[in-house]
Each structure stands twice: as structure tokens, then as C-alpha cells.
Amino acid sequence: MIKVDQDKCIGCGLCSGMCPDVFIMNADGKSEVLEQGNEACAKGAAESCPVNAITL
Ligand code: SF4
């Protein structure tokens, strides 16, 4: 299951840019999971997240 740690996310927007089908920026300026499923893309985003906020 793809998750974003809201306490760690700094709102850089990288993950939603890489995987717009998985991540969306919320009203707090943080990323949240829009839809589970594209784990291949989410894995790349998790590896690229500067604060390691994404787990799956
Ligand atoms: S890449 Fe990481 S820090 Fe940047 S918006 Fe996504 S979860 Fe937040």
C-alpha cells in the first residue's frame, strides 16, 4: 500500500509531478495518495523523495 507520511512531506511536488495518477498535492501543500495502483511509478517517486516520506 502506497503511503505518504504527512509529517515528513515538505511539499516539493516531485512525486505528483512524476506520478500524477498516484499522488496529488492537498490543500495543506502536502502530497497525498490519490489512487493506489501504479507501484512502479510510486517506487521511483519514493526513491526520489528528498525526505523519504513515501513508503510502499
Ligand atoms: S516527493 Fe516527498 S516531499 Fe516531495 S511532495 Fe512528494 S512526498 Fe512530499
Tell me the per-residue pLDDT of 34-49, one tens digit each, with 9 for 90 and over: 999 999 999 999 999 9
Average pLDDT estimate for 12-37: 98
Q: Would you say the pTM of this structure is higher than 0.75? A: yes
| pLDDT for res 21 | 97
Any idea what the CATH number is for the domain that residue 14 is in?
3.30.70.20
Atom 1 in ligand 1: residue holding the nearest Cα: 49
Ligand 1 centroid to 53 CA: how many Å?
6
Number of domains in the chain: 1
For 37, the grid coordinates are 495502483
Residue 37 to residue 10: CA distance in whole angstroms: 23
Mean pLDDT of the chain: 98
Percent of the chain with pLDDT over 90: 100
Atom of ligand 1 nearest to the CA of 5: 7
Burial class (CB in 10 A: 0-12, 13-18, 19+), 35: exposed
The residue segments making up the domain with residue 8 are 3-55
